[in-house]
Structure 1
Amino acid sequence: MTDDAYLVLLNGTAVTLGVPPSAVGELTCMEAPAVRAWLQAQGVTATSPGLRLVPPEETAALPDDVERLPVPLGEEELSHVRRHAAPHDVARLEKELLAYRSYSDGRDALLARALAAGVPAHRIAELTGEDLVTVKALAH
């Protein structure tokens, strides 16, 4: 497995990996001179049907003879590619996990704000599923 995502041209192959770049949304790598030159050399555009963006974990499945170009993706862009490449149920769960992370990152602050606003500790524990001892510890 490689650490790079790849832009690949899968015209005429039975392999369907990755996602069309246009399905992911705006990607900064698509404006890179190297990517534009590669697309031009292949005679395709960013919306060509055989063009796919393949995340690192799928690159081992690419046929050896497929045209490919490593592309730099930021963490958020790679996350979008993976979510679009995943089956619908997995993508939905990944989206929920990202939402959970955003809530858990500010968990202590949210619980402390609720306590400061007068929400009883037992009610916070009930609503959040947090341990009552944990909630009470934030009150001090």
Structure 2
Amino acid sequence: MTDDAYLFLAMSADVWQGTPLALVGELECLDTPAVLAWFTAQGVNPASAVVRIIPPEQTGLIPEDAERLPVPLSEEELERVRRATATDRVAGIEEELLAFRDSKDNRDGLLRRALAAGVPAHRIVELSGVDPATLSSASLD
């Protein structure tokens, strides 16, 4: 796993990985000389449907032959990329986990639903602020 997100080109219609960059919104890295040069070299612009972005934990999903560029993101930008990349079901659960930080109502039920939806344990801990041991006990109930 890398700490950088990646921009890549999805030149084939059967490539579903990543999120179109246009859906994520403005990112600071898009104004850097390296990223601008990459767009120029690829003959695309940031609004192109073939330009995709993927968070660090999903870089293994980038097609081997895809043109790619690592890009550093702020925490807020990375969170936007993750949410845009998540399925609707996972994104909904992640929203609930973020809201959970301010409430303890139905904690174990929410944690079990998040695990069942396929939200990785490290994301549940990150979003909800629960102790990893609490997460383990909730999954056993």
TM-score by length of 2: 0.68
Residue 65 of structure 1: how far off its partner (Å): 1.5
CA offsets, 1:103-124, max 9 Å, x none?
26xxxxxxxxxxxxxxxxxxxx
**Structure 1 residue 88 and structure 2 residue 84: aligned?**
no
Amino acid at match of 2:6: Y
Paired residue secondary structure (1:29): helix
RMSD across aligned C-alpha pairs, in angstroms? 1.4
Paired residue secondary structure (1:16): coil
Amino acid at match of 2:25: G
Amino acid at match of 1:66: A
Paired residue secondary structure (1:53): strand
Displacement over 6 Å in runs of 4+: none
Residue 13 of structure 1: how far off its partner (Å): 5.6
Counterpart CA distance in 1 for 2:74 and 2:63 is: 25
Partner of 1:7: 7
Q: Whose radius of gyration is greater, 1 or 2?
A: 1
Counterpart CA distance in 1 for 2:89 and 2:51 is: 24
TM-score by length of 1: 0.68
CA offsets, 1:77-113, max 9 Å, x none?
1111111101101111112222222x26xxxxxxxxx
Written as runs of structure 1 = structure 2, the 5 A alignment for 1:121-136 is: none
| Structure 1 unpaired stretches of 5+ | 105-140
Counterpart CA distance in 2 for 1:88 and 1:39 is: 30
* Contact 1:18/1:81, CA 8 A, preserved across alignment: no
Paired residue secondary structure (1:8): strand
Aligned length in residues: 103
